[in-house]
Amino acid sequence: MGADRVVIGSRESLLAVAQSNLVIDFLRAAHPGLDVELATFKTTGDKILDRRLDQIGGKGLFVKELDDALRAGKCDYTVHSCKDLPMEAPGDLPIVCFSAREDPRDVLVFPCGAEEPDFSLPVGTSSLRRELQLRRLLPQAQFESVRGNLQTRLRKLDEGQYGCLVLAAAGLKRLGLEERIGRYLEPDKVIPSAAQGVIAVQGRTDADADLLDGFASHDAFVTTSAERAFVAYLDGGCSSPIAAYAETEDGNVVLRALYYDEETRVARRGTIYGSAGDAVPMAEALADALRSGGGEEL
């Protein structure tokens, strides 16, 4: 809003605010004297809770109101779970940085006090990506959609509506709810959503990205760019059960990914290795191979 004042835009949920506060805390520590404020907005995706996201329009439903607020000058930056962003950012609202990644894994959450899931009740997940992969690991399970913020989902679980939930570890950890995690699902078994665990900060084209030096992660930029490129190449989004997870080591990158052919209803997964500098073309090559019938069929 001015040289000495920055407004951060966020969804209203506790998790969204917690993630925005990570950015706010960084800015206040890195730039003493900078007035940093939080503005929250309710998005369409937060209002429609009775249907799965793929049935109501996908990931864009969580960002439209925040994009509008940025364009209107109501805030200077918006903060998102990167996995909830559409694969293509608007040209006038670029992503100015990716945070270091929190735990990228999916997890099973059991009812309060339980040490195992109750498979006489449905497994709650709003993600077809998760359901496709877990059918192989949990053949005895039945799956049912669950919507709402994290606290709402946990309440439904503890009230006995579900035998367990499938959630992202990152959100639970950022809200101090790590003790609710019953079982971690390793990425070689259940490939996470592209960019899971990464916070994305979005701004206008005149945004001062230097303000976020130290919060931005080059490693996350490499891995997230590869993951998002894989999904974008396949024209996938929230309506498509596509997954991608990349890791870097010594200048190289390994990408694991899942592709689902909606016509044949066949899912395939594969892995590609190469130089981190080639992460995006590697991702596109893997997408092409899986779409052409390569990889391992689930």
d(CA 181, CA 195): 20
> Phi, psi at residue 84, to the nearest 5°?
-90, -5
Residue 270 pairs in a beta bridge with 257
Tell me the two tokens of residue 121.
């009740």
d(CA 268, CA 257): 8
d(CA 11, CA 23): 14
d(CA 200, CA 216): 9
132, amino acid identity: L
d(CA 23, CA 20): 5
d(CA 84, CA 91): 18
Tell me the two tokens of residue 199.
């916070």
d(CA 63, CA 207): 18
Tell me the two tokens of residue 157.
């679980």
Using CB atoms within 10 Å of the CB of residue 263, give its burial: 0 to 12 exposed, 13 to 18 middle, 19+ buried: exposed
Q: Verify whether residue 84 is a known catalytic residue.
A: yes
> Phi, psi at residue 105, to the nearest 5°?
-75, 150
Say if residues 226 and 98 touch (Cβ distance below 8 Å).
no
* Other Cβ atoms closer than 10 A to 152: 13
d(CA 219, CA 8): 24
Q: Exactly one of 46, 54, 76, 84 is catalytic; which is it?
A: 84
Active site residues: 84
